[in-house]
Structure 1
Amino acid sequence: MTQHYLSGFGNEFSSEDPRCPGALPKGQNSPQVCPYGLYAEQLSGSAFTCPRPTNKRSWFYRILPSVRHKPYTTVDNGNLTETWDEMHPDPNQLRWLPFTILKSSEKKVDFVTGLHTICGAGDTKTRNGISIHMFTCNTSMIDRCFNNSDGDFLIVPQQGKILVTTEFGKMMVEPKEICVIQQGMRFSVDVFGDTRGYVLEVYGAHFELPDLGPIGANGLANPRDFLTPVAWYEDREVANGYTVINKYQGKLFSSQQDFSPFNVVAWHGNYTPYKYHLSNFMVMNCVAFDHADPSIFTVLTAKSTRPGVAIADFVIFPPRWGVADHTFRPPYYHRNCMSEFMGLIEGHYEAKEEGFQPGGGSLHSMMTPHGPDGACFEKNSTAPLKPERVAEGTMAFMFESSFSMAVTKWGLETCQKLDKSYYKCWEPLRKHFDPNWRPKRITT
């Protein structure tokens, strides 16, 4: 079950498992003796001295504190990496076919072992950067949970729903929904068959709603549509050991404990996991002429220290009306000072109806030219400009970043999904220049 997430700044939320009414202490955060004999524990998502609007923390009231565990030991990272220099830089337009999901009969893979890093930049130690991962899995996490000490995870399921159990409660997240698990929050993922999706990880910043500026008070993603979990606990001892996987400085570590970490009976604060359904996005669009910049479709942003420049933006391209007159309506050809990774949840993306498939992706690095393929250009250069539905039955998205992305060895070689013929989609573009062209004379 979930409750409304009313704003990205400063608001307090509270929840207690209905099995233990009154579990939340009244009047103070850490009384000498907590109700029901619980332990008080704070999770801080910001420096203690941050300004009040950006100060993030939550209090847990739990059966046992998270500090009771055996020492961490290193474990295999698999295809999860923060090594950005293993391959020579490649400025070319890159596209991947749908990433393979192993069958459970071949190998059982859960969310953590199914994480594969495609590209990224920056450094977890200095808390400035991002990673983009795919997850492909077929098995639920059994007596295992994940904790990311490096940053926030924005998870975009593409195939198969996932049940995310957190210390705050449970969230069912289906394709066309997203969830954000912020730094330091423990969670596990249950799946219900072959499952695939995308993850945007940011270090050193948290996602927030973009400023609306001249749009005014309403539009884009509305705060009331974000949902947080309702408190749920399990008081469960695990005789064979419960494994906590910790991602720290880009490496994986594990520790053992003999109880479930999801033993929080009540919580309150403003630092929570949350989810959002993309169908709730209020599209703002052009109703006169020209094609609006993709920034108008921003759902969440992780800001950098430079005003107006993001470490990462999460942008979607949902179904909408196209009505612009005298306009080439699809995205224009462009070169950008940002890096653009695109994914497709369902349908056919308007600017590349062939080749770009659900469960695949593309990367257009900063200042690398890109835009509609040849077929899209020809079709839309002569199409009658009547009002039409755009992207019906489609949901594409973009992870956009001010960082120059390095592609991993897995992304370029190991996954064997790189579409080496991608550049050919622009080869049909032909010169239409006519030096004798003159505007048509209008007679009255």
Structure 2
Amino acid sequence: MTELSYLTGFGNQHGSEAVPGALPIGRNSPQRAPHGLYAELLSGSAFTAPRADNQRTWLYRRRPAVVVGGYAPLPHAHWKSGAAQGESAPPDPLRWAPTSLDGEGDFIGGLRSYAVNGEPGLGGMAALAYVASRPMGRRALVNADAEMLLVPQQGRLLITTELGRLEVAPGSIALLPRGMAFKVDPLDMPARGYVCENHGAAFRLPELGPIGSNGLANARDFEAPVAWHETEAGEYEIVKRYGGKLWRATQGHSPFNVVAWHGNLVPYRYDTARFMAINTVSFDHPDPSIFTVLTSPSDTPGWANVDFVIFPPRWMVAEDTFRPPWYHRNVMSEFMGLVLGQYDAKPEGFKPGGASLHSSYVPHGPDSEAFDKASGAELKPHKLDNTLAFMFETRWPLKPTAWALTEAPLEKTYADCWRDLQDNFNA
């Protein structure tokens, strides 16, 4: 495929044009936009939001987004959003084997919700799996309820957006703004991965506090696409996520007809290998917050709507320390996935492409094997390598969906991994 070009810097004011002179200078909405284009504004925040929080992008396109037919319901049995679409379930730890690669659907048809909370468009999140066995073709998705964070686990993706194209491989992520049209075409089929549907405040880089000015994810490493527009004529199906449901309409032209744009509400890709991990160089296992890549804040400072956390390759050097994660019960709910290799707290049972859910105050931690190994290990410096796990951590309890409880490969004996933990008290 043609090599793609990118602009760098998370949250930056970018500008790009696919045709010279298509981007107006000194005007956002001139009386006549260059080259006979239409000026259109996409807002990701209230108009009067503080300057640092204001998100918007001006699009200069061949036809505006209002040129679309009427919408009709589009049934989807497995894409659920909001606590009302979850199931009442006991406070058990849950784990799933890798999602099956069977099927012939595209990205939309291959979405499956594991767990949900909050309410679409207002707050909370949904954790999903995707399996894509064919391109979306002349079909586009607009999520008016949430921005979408894609975490590929198997297979490269070509993501076409209104602002340009992104190629995203396992080990990288893609962040797609709420309200922006896009389509996902697998370059390697079938493709599999995870999605966080974020119904709250837009993801941003976390504050660094005592860490200082450097560390974790650097803004310069997030890449936005340059302008690109589709020239092939013909109809497109527009699928819209709106109010927790899917709707479809047909329009006579491509939604990817933006010839130029400028702003800071843009899609990004990020290579997690560029994450600067912070870790202890003395003793004790630090909180997982040091691995936060992006955060969606809530109205309560320090208590995120969603945090996106990764556990990448890193050196382990702590002395006189139980190095894996400790046993814990959190106010936050944790949905985990494994992209690559092995997770140090679950050396055997947790597989790439699988998932786990420990909702609010559900106890969890290392399995028996991991506890025995870490308790007796000679504590030399060693590197955790060839591994990448992640976590969607949210302030609200996560409710599993009917698919997750009845059709997905739920491991009903998951809790047995702690059964052999003995009472070793010695007075």
Q: Establish whether TM, by shorter chain, passes 0.5.
A: yes
- Give runs of aligned pairs for residues 267-346 of structure 1, distance below 5 A: 267-346=261-340
Tell me the distance in 2 between the aligned counterparts of 1:124 and 1:342: 21
1:262 maps to 2:261:
no
1:183 corresponds to: 178
Q: In structure 2, the residue corresponding to 1:53 is in which secondary structure?
A: helix
- 1:378 shift after superposition: 0.7
Output one character per residue of 1:354-377: Cα deviation in whole Å (capped at 9) or x when no partner. Answer: 110000100011111110010111
Q: Contact 1:228–1:273 at 8 Å: present in 2 too?
A: yes
Q: In structure 2, the residue corresponding to 1:41 is in which secondary structure?
A: strand
Tell me the distance in 1 between the aligned counterparts of 2:5 and 2:176: 15
Tell me which of 336, 345, 349 is aligned to 2:343: 349
Q: Contact 1:63–1:235 at 8 Å: present in 2 too?
A: no
1:367 corresponds to: 361
The number of residue pairs the alignment matches comes to 422
After superposing on structure 2, the runs of 4+ consecutive aligned residues of structure 1 that deviate more than 4 Å are none
2:226 corresponds to: 230
Q: In structure 2, the residue corresponding to 1:259 is in which secondary structure?
A: coil
Tell me which of 242, 249, 253 is aligned to 2:247: 253
Q: Contact 2:200–2:296 at 8 Å: present in 1 too?
A: no
- 1:234 shift after superposition: 1.5
Output one character per residue of 1:368-392: Cα deviation in whole Å (capped at 9) or x when no partner. Answer: 11100101111111111111112x1
Q: Contact 1:63–1:264 at 8 Å: present in 2 too?
A: yes
Q: Contact 2:159–2:167 at 8 Å: present in 1 too?
A: yes
1:48 maps to 2:47:
yes
1:95 maps to 2:89:
no
Q: Contact 2:140–2:237 at 8 Å: present in 1 too?
A: yes
Tell me the distance in 2 between the aligned counterparts of 1:150 and 1:370: 32
- 1:78 shift after superposition: 2.6
Tell me which of 383, 394, 407 is aligned to 1:414: 407
Runs of 5+ in structure 2 lacking a partner? none
The structure with the largest alpha-carbon Rg is: 1
Output one character per residue of 1:316-344: Cα deviation in whole Å (capped at 9) or x when no partner. Answer: 01111111111111111111000001100
Runs of 5+ in structure 1 lacking a partner? 436-444
Output one character per residue of 1:227-266: Cα deviation in whole Å (capped at 9) or x when no partner. Answer: 000100123321xx31000000110001111111111110
Tell me the distance in 1 between the aligned counterparts of 2:215 and 2:181: 32
* TM-score normalised per structure 1: 0.93
- 1:83 shift after superposition: 5.8
Tell me which of 194, 198, 204 is aligned to 2:194: 198
Output one character per residue of 1:97-150: Cα deviation in whole Å (capped at 9) or x when no partner. Answer: 0011124xxxx200011111111111125x111111111120100110000000
Tell me which of 114, 120, 135 is aligned to 1:124: 120
- Give runs of aligned pairs for residues 418-429 of structure 1, distance below 5 A: 418-429=410-421
Q: In structure 2, the residue corresponding to 1:310 is in which secondary structure?
A: coil
Amino acid at match of 1:167: E
Tell me the distance in 2 between the aligned counterparts of 1:34 and 1:236: 22
Tell me which of 400, 424, 435 is aligned to 2:393: 400
Tell me the distance in 2 between the aligned counterparts of 1:87 and 1:70: 35
Percent identity between the aligned chains?
A: 49
Query: What RMSD, in angstroms, separates the aligned Cα atoms of the two structures?
Result: 1.1
Q: Contact 1:78–1:113 at 8 Å: present in 2 too?
A: no
- 1:89 shift after superposition: 2.4
User: Is the alpha carbon distance of 1:164 and 1:264 closer, same or farther for their aligned partners in structure 2, counting shifts above 3 Å?
Assistant: same
Q: Contact 1:326–1:385 at 8 Å: present in 2 too?
A: yes
Q: Contact 1:84–1:407 at 8 Å: present in 2 too?
A: no
